[in-house]
Structure 1
Amino acid sequence: MELLLKNKNFLFMFLGRMITNIGDSIYYVAAMWLVYDLGGSAFYSGLAGFLTMLPTALQFLVGPFVDKWQIKRTLVLTQILQCVLILIIPISYRFDFLTVQLILIVMPLVAFIEQFAYPAQTKALPLLLGKSELMKGNSLFSFAYQGIDLVFNAAAGILVAMVGAVTLYIVDSVTFAIAAISFSLVKLPLRNNKEYIQENKTNGRHAIKKYLIDLKEGFIIVFHSLLGSFLIGSVIANFAIGITFAILPSFADSRGGSEVYGLFLTGLSAGSLIGALLASWLGKFKTGYLSIISFAIAACCWTLAALIPFTTIAIILFGLAWVPIGGTNVIFGTISQMVIPNEVLGRVNSVSRSMSAIAMPFGSLLGGYLATVFNSQFLFALTGAGILFISIVWLFHPKLRALPQATELSAETFGLKFGEEYEKGSPYSDMIN
C-alpha cells in the first residue's frame, strides 16, 4: 500500500492494470460460455480456447515492437482497440446477426491485442520502481491480476445466468475505456527521441531486417541459457491446462451450470493469488526443491479435484493446485526484470511466454474434441499429470534441481552474458550475424 501512495505513476499503472483485468475476466467467462451456449457443444468451447490462446503462443512476434514503441502509447491504444472490438458483440446481437462464428473471429483479435499490452506493462515496472521495490510491485500486479479474477470470475458466472453474456460485453467495453484513461495519466521516461525518430525514418527493407535481428536475438538469449530449460516442463503443463480450459464449461455444466464454471475459475484465481502473495516468502526456499515439491503436491490436488464428488471441496483443491503456479510466476517475473536489460526485456519475455504457451491452444483444440468422445471428469483428472511433469523435469535436470534461493539468482545463474548494462554491440551479436 505504501508503494501505491508514494508513487503516483505506479498507482495509475496499477489502477489501469486492475481495470483492464476486470475487463479480461468478464470477457473470458462471458465469451467462453456464450460460445458453448450458442454452439451447444464442448467442441466449440475448445475451438474458442484454441483461437484465444493462439495469439499468446505467437507473442514472440510482437516482442521487438514492444521494445521499440513508446510504452504509454502502446498501453493506451491497446485498451481503445479492445474497447471497440468488444462492442461488436452487443451491436450484432441488437441487430440480430450474432453468430458463434462472429464470436470466434472477435475473440482471437482481442487476445492478439492483449499480447502487446501485458509485455508493455512488464517493461514499465523497472522504469517506475527501484530494484528493491520490484518484488513488491510484481506481487501487487499479480494481486491485481489474480485478485480481480477471484472476484469477477465468480461474479461473471453468476451475472451470465442473471443478465446474459451479451450484456456483460457492454460492461466489458466500458472497463477498457476507463483503463485507457488510467494508463494515459502515467508519466514514463521517454526513450531517446533522436534514436526513436531515426528508427521510424528507416526504409521498409532496413526496418524488416532490424526487426528480424531483434527477433532472432530474443530466441538466442532464451535458448542459449537456462531459460530454455524452464520451457520443457511448461510446454507439457500448458498443453494439459489448454485441455482443462476447453472441457471446463462442460465439466461445470454437469455439476450445476455457469455459476459452477465461474466458481472453478475463481478457485483458480484464488490459488494463483495466494501463491503471488506468498512469493516473497517462497523465494526464501531453494528454487529447485521448491518447484519439485510444490508442483508434485499441486498435481495431486488437481487430480483429486476432478474425482471428488463434493463440488465445494473440488473447487478448493483445484485452487490449491494453482498456488505454486502463482508463486513461481511472480518470482521468475521479478528475476527477469532484474537480470535482463530493459532494452531487450520485451522480446526475451515474449519469446519465453510464447514458447511456454505454444502447446496450450492445441491442448484446447484437442480437449474440445476429446470431450465429445470421453467423459469430461476423466479428462479433467488426467490433465493433472501435466502439472506433475514440471516436478519430474526439475527433479531430473541437475541445473534446475540445484537452483538456489530467488535472492541468489543472477544473470550468471541462468547462463546469460549480460553485465550490469546492456551496451550497443550486444554480447550475442556474434550469434545473430
Structure 2
Amino acid sequence: MRNNLLSNPRFLFFYLSRTSANIADSIYMIVMLYFVQSITESVSYTSFTYSAITATSMFSFIVGPIVDRHSPLKLASLSLLMQAIIIFFVPFLIGEQSYKLILILVLVFLASCFSLLFYPANSKLIPILMRNNDDIIKANVVINSTDQVINIVGYLLGASIIIFLGMKNTFYLASGLLLLAGLTFFWMSRNLIPSNYMENEPAKHSGSFLLELKEGFSFVKQNVFLKIMMPFYALINFLLAMLIITIPSLAVSAGSPIYYSLIYIVFFIGMFCGSILTNYVPKKAFVIAVAWILMGISLCVFSLMQGIWLKMVAVLPMGIGSGLINVQQTAIIHIITPTKLLGRVLSFLSSISNASLPLGALVGGVLTLRFPLENVLLFSAVLIMASGLILLCIKTVRQFTIEDQTEERQKEANVGGNF
C-alpha cells in the first residue's frame, strides 16, 4: 500500500514536505511549553501559553473561502515560510524577564495565525491527489501513521536538543525545518504539478466572502452525520487539553524534560498502532465511539496511577484510540465532502472542535488551582467515556459506513482543485 502511494511523485513530495513540518511542530511545541514551565513553575502559566498557541484555531473558518479560492500548495508554502521567520526570532527574547515572556507569547500567537492556512490547505490536497475512496483511506493511514513516527522522533529529539544544545538552538532547528517544508511546497507548485492538474471544472465562487462561508456552514448543517459529531469533537478536545497542560508539570516534577518527551512518545506509538489498525477494523463510525470509550478508560487509569512509568503505560491505549479516531473521521470528511467545498468544511469543523482547546486549557488551569490534579483528570476521563457511550446509542452513528459514501464521492470525482 505505502509503496504504491509513494511511487506517485506528487504524493511523495507532499508526504515529505508535511513530514518536515510535523517534525518542526513537535520540536517547537515541546521546547515552548517546557521553557514556560521551567521559568514560571506553574501549570496555570503553561496553560495560558498553550492557549496562545491554539487560540487562533477557533477562527479557522475564516480561511475556508481562501483555501477554496486559491492554490492550496501556495497557501501551505506561505504559511510555513512565515512561521519559520517568526519562530527564528523567538530565541532572541529568551530570558526570565516578564516582558520577554509576553513578547514571546505575541510571536507564538502570530505564528499560530499563519498556521491557520496550512492545515486546511494541506488536508484539501489529499482527496485531490487521491481519486477514489480506497486511496483516500490508504493515504490517510500512511500520513497519520507516519505523523506519529515523526512525532515520536520529534519529541525525543526535542528533549535531547534541550539537554545538549539548549533552547535557542532548538528553536532554530524548528524554524529551519519549517523553511525546508515551505520551500518544497513552493517548488511543487512551480515545477512538479501543472496548474490545471485535475482541474476539470472551473471553481465557482459567489463573489461574497460571507456567502461562501455560509455555503460551507450549510453543508455541515445539512449533513446529519457531521451535525451529530461536531459537538463531540469539540468536547473531546476540551477535555484532552486539560491533560496536555499537566504533562510539563509531571516532567518538571520528575526532574528532566526527557519524561515530557517519553509520555508523548508512548502516546504517539499508540496513535501509530491505532492508525495501522484502521486497515483491519470495520470502516464504520461506531469504531469511533468504541475508541472514544477506550480513551476515557485509559485517561481514568492515567489519573489514578502514581508513578510516571505507570502513567506511560496507561497512555498507550489512549493513543491507540486516538489513532483510530483520527484516520476514520478524516477519511469520512474527505469522502462525503465535495472538493469545491472541502476547504470551507474542513476550516469550519476545525474552528468548532479546536475552539475548545484554549478554553479547555484555561479551565483546566483554573481547576488545578482549586482541585488536585488527579481529580481534574478523572473528571475528564468520565466525560470522555460518557461521550462514547452516547454516540453508541445514536442510530445514525452506529449504522454509518464509509462504503455507503462511494456513490456520492464518485459523483464529485470530476470536481478538481486548483494547485
Q: TM-score, normalised by structure 2?
A: 0.89
Number of the residue aligned with 1:427:
none
Q: Does 2:256 align with 1:257?
A: yes
Q: Does 2:294 align with 1:297?
A: yes
Matches within 5 A, 1:16-415: 16-93=17-94, 99-131=100-132, 132-186=134-188, 187-190=192-195, 210-225=208-223, 226-282=225-281, 284=282, 286-288=284-286, 290-404=287-401, 406-409=402-405
CA deviation map 1:94-140 (0-9, x unaligned): 9x997211221122222221221111111112222231322121112
CA deviation map 1:260-307 (0-9, x unaligned): 11111222222222211221212x26432x233332222111111221
CA deviation map 1:169-221 (0-9, x unaligned): 0111110111122223323353679968x97xxxxxx95xx111111111111
Seen in structure 2, the aligned counterparts of structure 1 residues 356 and 5 have a Cα distance that, compared at 3 Å, is closer
Question: Residues of 2 paired with 1:384 and 1:92: CA distance?
Answer: 38
Number of the residue aligned with 1:15:
16
Letter in 2 for 1:157: A
CA deviation map 1:383-404 (0-9, x unaligned): 2123213312212322112324
SS in 2 for 1:190: coil
Question: Residues of 1 paired with 2:353 and 2:43: CA distance?
Answer: 25
Say whether the 8 Å CA contact 2:278–2:327 is kept in structure 1. yes
Question: Residues of 2 paired with 1:340 and 1:188: CA distance?
Answer: 23
Question: Residues of 2 paired with 1:379 and 1:154: CA distance?
Answer: 27
Say whether the 8 Å CA contact 1:21–1:144 is kept in structure 2. no
Alpha-carbon offset, residue 230 of structure 1 = 0.5
Say whether the 8 Å CA contact 1:273–1:326 is kept in structure 2. yes
Question: Residues of 2 paired with 1:119 and 1:299: CA distance?
Answer: 28
Alpha-carbon offset, residue 343 of structure 1 = 0.8
Say whether the 8 Å CA contact 1:158–1:259 is kept in structure 2. yes
SS in 2 for 1:130: coil
Seen in structure 2, the aligned counterparts of structure 1 residues 392 and 5 have a Cα distance that, compared at 3 Å, is closer
SS in 2 for 1:371: helix
Say whether the 8 Å CA contact 1:237–1:389 is kept in structure 2. no
Seen in structure 2, the aligned counterparts of structure 1 residues 88 and 11 have a Cα distance that, compared at 3 Å, is same
Seen in structure 2, the aligned counterparts of structure 1 residues 15 and 66 have a Cα distance that, compared at 3 Å, is same
Gaps of 5+ in 1: 200-205, 413-417, 425-433
Letter in 2 for 1:221: F
Seen in structure 2, the aligned counterparts of structure 1 residues 213 and 155 have a Cα distance that, compared at 3 Å, is same
Question: Residues of 2 paired with 1:294 and 1:303: CA distance?
Answer: 14
Letter in 1 for 2:309: T
Gaps of 5+ in 2: none
Provide the aligned C-alpha RMSD in A: 2.7
Question: Residues of 2 paired with 1:47 and 1:62: CA distance?
Answer: 24
Question: Residues of 1 paired with 2:406 and 2:370: CA distance?
Answer: 48
Say whether the 8 Å CA contact 2:273–2:320 is kept in structure 1. yes
Question: Residues of 1 paired with 2:387 and 2:103: CA distance?
Answer: 37
Alpha-carbon offset, residue 149 of structure 1 = 0.8
Question: Residues of 2 paired with 1:57 and 1:243: CA distance?
Answer: 17
Seen in structure 2, the aligned counterparts of structure 1 residues 154 and 66 have a Cα distance that, compared at 3 Å, is same
Letter in 1 for 2:129: L
Question: Residues of 1 paired with 2:410 and 2:289: CA distance?
Answer: 30
Seen in structure 2, the aligned counterparts of structure 1 residues 161 and 267 have a Cα distance that, compared at 3 Å, is same
Question: Residues of 1 paired with 2:338 and 2:241: CA distance?
Answer: 32
SS in 2 for 1:254: helix
SS in 2 for 1:281: coil
Q: Which stretch has the larger CA shift, 254-263 or 137-146?
A: 254-263
Question: Residues of 2 paired with 1:79 and 1:236: CA distance?
Answer: 29
Question: Residues of 2 paired with 1:49 and 1:64: CA distance?
Answer: 27
Number of the residue aligned with 1:420:
411
Q: TM-score, normalised by structure 1?
A: 0.86
Letter in 1 for 2:89: I
Say whether the 8 Å CA contact 1:31–1:103 is kept in structure 2. no
Alpha-carbon offset, residue 154 of structure 1 = 2.6
CA deviation map 1:32-61 (0-9, x unaligned): 111222233211111111121212221111
Question: Residues of 2 paired with 1:336 and 1:411: CA distance?
Answer: 15
Seen in structure 2, the aligned counterparts of structure 1 residues 255 and 68 have a Cα distance that, compared at 3 Å, is same
SS in 1 for 2:397: helix
SS in 2 for 1:337: helix
Letter in 1 for 2:274: G
